[in-house]
Amino acid sequence: MEKILEQTLLYDFYGELLTEHQKAVYSDVVFNDYSLSEVAEEYDISRQGVHDLIKRCNAILTGYEDKLHLVEKFMDAKKMVGEINDLTKKFFDTGDSECVRRIDEISNDMLKIF
Amino acid sequence: MEKILEQTLLYDFYGELLTEHQKAVYSDVVFNDYSLSEVAEEYDISRQGVHDLIKRCNAILTGYEDKLHLVEKFMDAKKMVGEINDLTKKFFDTGDSECVRRIDEISNDMLKIF
Protein backbone atom coordinates (compact mmCIF):
# COMPACT_ATOMS: atom_id res chain seq x y z
CA MET A 1 0.00 0.00 0.00
CA GLU A 2 1.20 3.54 -0.71
CA LYS A 3 2.68 5.13 2.41
CA ILE A 4 0.41 8.19 2.47
CA LEU A 5 -2.72 6.04 1.99
CA GLU A 6 -1.57 3.70 4.74
CA GLN A 7 -0.89 6.64 7.06
CA THR A 8 -4.32 8.11 6.31
CA LEU A 9 -6.09 4.84 7.07
CA LEU A 10 -4.16 4.24 10.28
CA TYR A 11 -4.81 7.81 11.40
CA ASP A 12 -8.53 7.53 10.54
CA PHE A 13 -8.83 4.43 12.67
CA TYR A 14 -6.51 5.07 15.59
CA GLY A 15 -5.70 8.79 15.44
CA GLU A 16 -7.94 9.55 18.43
CA LEU A 17 -5.53 7.56 20.59
CA LEU A 18 -2.80 10.13 20.00
CA THR A 19 -2.52 13.25 22.17
CA GLU A 20 -3.90 16.57 20.91
CA HIS A 21 -0.34 17.79 20.37
CA GLN A 22 0.66 14.66 18.43
CA LYS A 23 -2.49 14.92 16.28
CA ALA A 24 -1.88 18.58 15.48
CA VAL A 25 1.77 18.17 14.48
CA TYR A 26 1.17 14.87 12.64
CA SER A 27 -1.75 16.30 10.61
CA ASP A 28 0.21 19.39 9.63
CA VAL A 29 3.16 17.40 8.32
CA VAL A 30 1.48 14.31 6.87
CA PHE A 31 -1.85 15.64 5.59
CA ASN A 32 -1.48 19.42 5.30
CA ASP A 33 1.92 19.09 3.69
CA TYR A 34 3.75 21.70 5.78
CA SER A 35 7.52 21.39 5.87
CA LEU A 36 9.32 20.22 9.01
CA SER A 37 10.76 23.75 9.39
CA GLU A 38 7.36 25.43 9.19
CA VAL A 39 5.85 23.02 11.73
CA ALA A 40 8.90 23.28 14.00
CA GLU A 41 8.49 27.04 14.09
CA GLU A 42 4.71 26.88 14.56
CA TYR A 43 4.94 24.60 17.61
CA ASP A 44 8.23 25.98 18.91
CA ILE A 45 10.08 22.66 18.74
CA SER A 46 13.21 21.64 16.81
CA ARG A 47 13.06 20.14 13.30
CA GLN A 48 14.50 16.97 14.82
CA GLY A 49 11.70 17.07 17.41
CA VAL A 50 9.07 17.19 14.65
CA HIS A 51 10.82 14.37 12.81
CA ASP A 52 10.93 12.22 15.95
CA LEU A 53 7.28 12.93 16.73
CA ILE A 54 6.16 11.81 13.26
CA LYS A 55 8.25 8.67 13.54
CA ARG A 56 6.85 7.97 17.02
CA CYS A 57 3.24 8.53 15.85
CA ASN A 58 3.72 6.18 12.89
CA ALA A 59 5.06 3.57 15.31
CA ILE A 60 2.11 4.05 17.69
CA LEU A 61 -0.48 3.82 14.90
CA THR A 62 1.20 0.79 13.33
CA GLY A 63 1.45 -0.79 16.77
CA TYR A 64 -2.33 -0.58 17.23
CA GLU A 65 -2.93 -2.13 13.81
CA ASP A 66 -0.45 -4.93 14.52
CA LYS A 67 -2.46 -5.79 17.62
CA LEU A 68 -6.03 -5.17 16.40
CA HIS A 69 -5.98 -5.62 12.58
CA LEU A 70 -9.09 -3.44 12.29
CA VAL A 71 -7.93 -1.52 9.20
CA GLU A 72 -7.26 -4.86 7.53
CA LYS A 73 -10.71 -6.15 8.56
CA PHE A 74 -12.39 -3.01 7.23
CA MET A 75 -10.46 -3.11 3.95
CA ASP A 76 -11.54 -6.72 3.41
CA ALA A 77 -15.16 -5.75 4.08
CA LYS A 78 -14.90 -2.75 1.77
CA LYS A 79 -13.59 -4.95 -1.04
CA MET A 80 -16.54 -7.32 -0.63
CA VAL A 81 -19.06 -4.44 -0.62
CA GLY A 82 -17.40 -3.18 -3.81
CA GLU A 83 -17.96 -6.58 -5.40
CA ILE A 84 -21.62 -6.53 -4.36
CA ASN A 85 -21.98 -3.07 -5.86
CA ASP A 86 -20.40 -4.21 -9.15
CA LEU A 87 -22.73 -7.20 -9.24
CA THR A 88 -25.86 -5.04 -8.92
CA LYS A 89 -24.68 -3.01 -11.96
CA LYS A 90 -23.98 -6.23 -13.83
CA PHE A 91 -27.46 -7.51 -12.95
CA PHE A 92 -29.07 -4.39 -14.42
CA ASP A 93 -26.92 -4.71 -17.55
CA THR A 94 -27.56 -8.40 -18.13
CA GLY A 95 -30.59 -9.46 -16.03
CA ASP A 96 -28.55 -12.49 -15.00
CA SER A 97 -29.86 -13.75 -11.62
CA GLU A 98 -26.49 -15.49 -11.10
CA CYS A 99 -25.31 -12.00 -10.01
CA VAL A 100 -27.82 -12.04 -7.14
CA ARG A 101 -26.81 -15.57 -6.18
CA ARG A 102 -23.22 -14.35 -5.92
CA ILE A 103 -24.35 -11.32 -3.82
CA ASP A 104 -26.13 -13.76 -1.51
CA GLU A 105 -22.90 -15.76 -1.17
CA ILE A 106 -20.71 -12.71 -0.48
CA SER A 107 -23.13 -11.25 2.09
CA ASN A 108 -23.29 -14.65 3.83
CA ASP A 109 -19.48 -14.74 3.99
CA MET A 110 -19.45 -11.21 5.41
CA LEU A 111 -21.94 -12.06 8.14
CA LYS A 112 -19.67 -14.97 9.15
CA ILE A 113 -16.61 -12.68 9.39
CA PHE A 114 -18.41 -9.92 11.32
CA MET B 1 -27.32 -3.82 24.50
CA GLU B 2 -27.05 -6.74 26.91
CA LYS B 3 -24.01 -6.35 29.15
CA ILE B 4 -22.40 -9.68 28.29
CA LEU B 5 -22.85 -9.09 24.53
CA GLU B 6 -21.39 -5.62 24.89
CA GLN B 7 -18.44 -6.97 26.88
CA THR B 8 -17.86 -9.68 24.26
CA LEU B 9 -17.85 -7.18 21.41
CA LEU B 10 -15.56 -4.74 23.19
CA TYR B 11 -13.20 -7.56 24.11
CA ASP B 12 -13.24 -8.91 20.52
CA PHE B 13 -12.25 -5.51 19.20
CA TYR B 14 -9.90 -4.12 21.83
CA GLY B 15 -8.97 -7.10 24.03
CA GLU B 16 -5.48 -7.30 22.54
CA LEU B 17 -4.72 -3.94 24.12
CA LEU B 18 -5.02 -5.46 27.60
CA THR B 19 -2.04 -7.14 29.28
CA GLU B 20 -1.76 -10.96 29.24
CA HIS B 21 -2.66 -11.03 32.94
CA GLN B 22 -5.71 -8.80 32.43
CA LYS B 23 -6.88 -10.92 29.49
CA ALA B 24 -6.51 -14.16 31.44
CA VAL B 25 -8.41 -12.97 34.52
CA TYR B 26 -11.04 -11.11 32.51
CA SER B 27 -11.76 -14.11 30.27
CA ASP B 28 -12.05 -16.48 33.19
CA VAL B 29 -14.59 -14.30 34.98
CA VAL B 30 -16.57 -12.81 32.10
CA PHE B 31 -16.54 -15.57 29.49
CA ASN B 32 -15.62 -18.77 31.31
CA ASP B 33 -17.98 -17.99 34.16
CA TYR B 34 -15.61 -18.76 37.03
CA SER B 35 -16.49 -17.22 40.39
CA LEU B 36 -14.42 -14.35 41.81
CA SER B 37 -13.21 -16.72 44.57
CA GLU B 38 -12.06 -19.37 42.11
CA VAL B 39 -10.21 -16.82 39.98
CA ALA B 40 -8.74 -15.11 43.05
CA GLU B 41 -7.29 -18.42 44.20
CA GLU B 42 -6.06 -19.39 40.72
CA TYR B 43 -4.12 -16.13 40.28
CA ASP B 44 -3.22 -15.68 43.93
CA ILE B 45 -4.91 -12.29 44.29
CA SER B 46 -7.75 -11.13 46.56
CA ARG B 47 -11.43 -11.31 45.52
CA GLN B 48 -11.43 -7.53 45.70
CA GLY B 49 -8.39 -7.52 43.40
CA VAL B 50 -10.24 -9.60 40.81
CA HIS B 51 -13.29 -7.37 41.13
CA ASP B 52 -11.17 -4.23 40.62
CA LEU B 53 -9.37 -5.75 37.65
CA ILE B 54 -12.66 -6.57 35.89
CA LYS B 55 -13.94 -3.07 36.56
CA ARG B 56 -10.68 -1.57 35.30
CA CYS B 57 -10.73 -3.71 32.11
CA ASN B 58 -14.32 -2.72 31.38
CA ALA B 59 -13.31 0.92 31.76
CA ILE B 60 -10.29 0.47 29.47
CA LEU B 61 -12.31 -1.31 26.76
CA THR B 62 -15.16 1.23 26.97
CA GLY B 63 -12.59 4.03 26.86
CA TYR B 64 -11.25 2.76 23.54
CA GLU B 65 -14.76 2.53 22.08
CA ASP B 66 -15.62 6.02 23.31
CA LYS B 67 -12.61 7.31 21.37
CA LEU B 68 -12.69 5.12 18.26
CA HIS B 69 -16.35 4.00 17.82
CA LEU B 70 -15.18 0.99 15.81
CA VAL B 71 -17.62 -1.49 17.37
CA GLU B 72 -20.43 0.93 16.53
CA LYS B 73 -19.13 1.28 12.95
CA PHE B 74 -18.91 -2.49 12.54
CA MET B 75 -22.39 -3.03 13.98
CA ASP B 76 -23.83 -0.51 11.51
CA ALA B 77 -22.06 -2.27 8.64
CA LYS B 78 -23.26 -5.67 9.87
CA LYS B 79 -26.85 -4.48 9.94
CA MET B 80 -26.57 -3.25 6.35
CA VAL B 81 -25.03 -6.54 5.17
CA GLY B 82 -27.91 -8.33 6.91
CA GLU B 83 -30.37 -6.22 4.92
CA ILE B 84 -28.55 -7.06 1.67
CA ASN B 85 -28.70 -10.73 2.58
CA ASP B 86 -32.45 -10.53 3.30
CA LEU B 87 -32.99 -8.77 -0.03
CA THR B 88 -31.26 -11.54 -2.02
CA LYS B 89 -33.64 -14.07 -0.41
CA LYS B 90 -36.59 -11.81 -1.21
CA PHE B 91 -35.40 -11.53 -4.81
CA PHE B 92 -35.34 -15.31 -5.20
CA ASP B 93 -38.83 -15.54 -3.63
CA THR B 94 -40.43 -12.81 -5.72
CA GLY B 95 -38.14 -12.09 -8.73
CA ASP B 96 -38.69 -8.40 -7.96
CA SER B 97 -35.71 -6.43 -9.36
CA GLU B 98 -36.57 -3.63 -6.90
CA CYS B 99 -34.70 -5.80 -4.37
CA VAL B 100 -31.50 -5.48 -6.43
CA ARG B 101 -32.04 -1.74 -6.80
CA ARG B 102 -32.20 -1.50 -3.00
CA ILE B 103 -29.02 -3.64 -2.66
CA ASP B 104 -27.31 -1.23 -5.04
CA GLU B 105 -28.40 1.69 -2.85
CA ILE B 106 -27.25 0.07 0.41
CA SER B 107 -23.87 -0.97 -1.01
CA ASN B 108 -23.37 2.57 -2.34
CA ASP B 109 -24.12 3.97 1.13
CA MET B 110 -21.66 1.51 2.67
CA LEU B 111 -18.89 2.50 0.28
CA LYS B 112 -19.43 6.12 1.32
CA ILE B 113 -19.18 5.28 5.04
CA PHE B 114 -16.10 3.04 4.67
Among the partner-chain residues B70, B85, B114, the one whose CB lies closest to the CB of A78 is B114
Residue A18 has pLDDT above 90, yes or no: yes
- State how far the Cα of B24 lies from the Cα of A27, in Å rounded to an integer: 37
Spell out which residues of chain B touch residue A76, defining contact as CB-CB under 8 Å.
none
CATH number for B7: 1.10.10.10
Burial B53-64, CB ≥16 within 10 A → b, else e: bbeebbebbeeb
Spell out which residues of chain B touch residue A110, defining contact as CB-CB under 8 Å.
81
- State how far the Cα of A59 lies from the Cα of B107, in Å rounded to an integer: 34
Residue B1 has pLDDT above 70, yes or no: no
- State how far the Cα of B29 lies from the Cα of A16, in Å rounded to an integer: 30
Range B9-37 average pLDDT: 96
Same domain, B35 and B90: no
Same domain, A48 and A95: no
* Number of structural domains found in chain B: 2
Same domain, A63 and A13: yes
Range B42-50 average pLDDT: 96
Domain of residue A25 covers 3-68
Angle between helices B70-94 and B47-68 (to 10 degrees): 70
Residue A3 has pLDDT above 90, yes or no: no
pLDDT attached to residue B113? 84
pLDDT attached to residue B2? 79
Cβ-contact B103, A80 below 8 angstroms: no
Residue A38 has pLDDT above 80, yes or no: yes
Residue B102 has pLDDT above 80, yes or no: yes
Angle between helices A36-43 and A47-68 (to 10 degrees): 100
Range A1-24 average pLDDT: 93
Same domain, B53 and B11: yes
Same domain, A95 and A62: no
Spell out which residues of chain A touch residue B97, defining contact as CB-CB under 8 Å.
91-92
Q: Nearest C-alpha of chain B: how many angstroms from A15?
A: 8
Same domain, B62 and B105: no
Range A34-39 average pLDDT: 96
pLDDT attached to residue A1? 66
Same domain, B80 and B58: no
Q: Does A82 touch chain B (CB under 8 A)?
A: yes
Cβ-contact A13, B70 below 8 angstroms: yes
Nearest C-alpha neighbor of B4 from the set B32, B36, B46: B32
Q: Nearest C-alpha of chain A: how many angstroms from B34?
A: 26
pLDDT tens-place string over residues A50-102: 999 999 999 999 999 999 999 999 999 999 999 999 999 999 999 999 999 99
Burial A6-39, CB ≥16 within 10 A → b, else e: ebebbbebbbebbeeebeebbbbbbeeebebeeb
